[in-house]
Amino acid sequence: MPDIILSTLNSRFSHASLGLRYLLANMGDLAGRTRLAEFVINQRPLDIVERLLALEPRIIGFGVYIWNIVETTQVVALLKQVRPDIQIVLGGPEVSFEQDQQAIIRDADYVISGPGDVSFSRLCQAILFGPKPLQKRVAGEQVPLAQLKFPYQLYSDRDLAHRLVYVEASRGCPFKCEFCLSSLDKTSLPFPLDAFLAELEHLYQRGARTFKFVDRTFNLNIKTSLQILDFFLQRLTADLFVHFEVIPDHLPDKLKQAIAQFPAGTLQLEIGIQTFNPEVQALISRKQDNTKTEANLRWLREHTQAHIHADLIAGLPGESLESFAAGFDRLLALGPQEIQLGILKRLRGTPLARHTEAFEMRYNPLPPYNILRNRDLDFVTLQRLNRFARYWDLIGNSGRFRQTLPQLLGTQPFAEFMAFSDWLWQHSQQTYQIALERLFDLVYQWLSQQPQQAAHAMQTLLQDYRDTGARGNPAFLQKTGNPA
């Protein structure tokens, strides 16, 4: 039985914890006495505790994040009731800041703030062999990345076959956007490139075909970016998929040329716009050339087959509903395949807190700490924006309403979709678990309120429904006498 368990609760099974694998890879002499035990947040805490205790560990280390803090708090509390002798060590962004306010900290024996790559191993050595640390809180040590052992061999064959493979060519971010924990970084630091590419090659030879880069700024160093892109261009297969997060206003010609070589379905670029409002950008210390950003997005859509996933955030200090609406319409006109509408969250430790009083920012005290109201957006408006974001995922981002979406958006996309969103909430009282057939019927009911649109709505919805491959018989199809 292992002495040490490294555990976390992932948000879904398809996610595999890169952080835990880094810890295990750098356990040194304790690696043989350490085991991974990953769970999913929808598992019952009692069941998780039972499985952990069956391994008879002396130490359990938990990776704690905004998406699992509630469930992990329950697991730790149960463990301490049943086996108080087991030493609980916490780490991760959610417990690295504002520790005095958290119940999970009170139940834990030790908390590592910041990097745990080598600090966790050293702490375990002290717990097992002495002398035990006198302080509960341990400052994580940042060592040169070249000194770390890569964790990629710790992805199992099952992981490679069924889960996302997370990789990173660099850590940190030089930018200071105040809503992001990366704003606390001094700069972006690269891993040794040749060694990293050798790890990618090994993963590829083992059958990995889905690579999700967690780098905050993949295209910061263009020379490195080009070498990584060339690695994948030399290994193109029908099932290859690579995801990068890129800076929107930094796409020199050489990088564009490389991106343009990827076939459809292979490359996804996540592009954080967040806001187009220059005054809001200045308030949150975000540097972004909007003109270059627009030009680059337009070029990517016109000259490449990359899938563009663009982000906007609602609720930023100083951003009114009118300003956010203008940003949405501006981004939509550039044609990204997905627009992810996020609601601002106050992550622990971020500089965003400095705006709390001036902009009357009021946040949910419970995870995910989403904005409830501020000086420019009242609670009701933010609730409407929450529903807008959810319905946009179901209809705008899902790809199921390609023919019908232009009819829903009209000439004023944000205003038209907000009106539809308000109506949809009124008639369904649901944002989740809306059956596909019912969703199609609701869209038809909304569009057919104007008789001149009903025939066109019927035609486009029929095409969209058939394209989904569904074989039901929603009510709107019954009107045509032509079931799917």
Q: Model confidence at 149, in pLDDT bands (50, 70, 90)?
A: very high
How far apart, in whole angstroms, are the C-alpha atoms of residue 21 and residue 140?
Answer: 17
- Phi-psi domain of 210 (left: phi exceeds 0; alpha: psi -120 through 50; beta: other): beta
| CATH number assigned to the domain covering 4-144 | 3.40.50.280
| 389 contacts 432 by C-beta, under 8 angstroms | no
First to last CA, the chain: 56
Strand 267-274 vs strand 307-314: parallel, antiparallel, or unpaired? parallel
Asked whether residue 421 carries a pLDDT value surpassing 90, the answer given is yes
Dihedral, CA of residue 249, residue 250, residue 251 and residue 255, to nearest 10: -160
Amino acid at 299: W
Among 20-29, 184-193, 205-214, 379-388, the range scoring the smallest mean pLDDT is: 184-193
Q: Model confidence at 483, in pLDDT bands (50, 70, 90)?
A: low
Amino acid at 28: G
| Residue range(s) occupied by CATH 3.80.30.20 in the chain | 155-377
| Residue range(s) occupied by CATH 3.40.50.280 in the chain | 4-144
pTM of structure: 0.94
CA separation (Å) from 205 to 151, 200, 201, 238, 265?
Answer: 16, 9, 6, 15, 21
DSSP string over 194-244: HHHHHHHHHHHHTT--EEEE--S-TTSSHHHHHHHHHHHHTT--TT-EEEE
How far apart, in whole angstroms, are the C-alpha atoms of residue 6 and residue 17?
Answer: 10
Strand 338-343 vs strand 307-314: parallel, antiparallel, or unpaired? parallel
Asked whether residue 482 carries a pLDDT value surpassing 90, the answer given is no
Assigned fold of 155-377: pyruvate-formate lyase- activating enzyme (3.80.30)
What integer is the mean pLDDT of 403-425?
A: 97
> 88 forms bridges with which residues in the sheet?
60
Tell me the HSE value of 196 on the side-chain side, using a 13 A CA sphere.
20
Averaged pLDDT of the chain: 95
Measure CA 225 to chain center.
Answer: 21
What tens digit of pLDDT does each residue of 359-403 get?
999 999 999 999 999 999 999 999 999 999 999 999 999 999 999
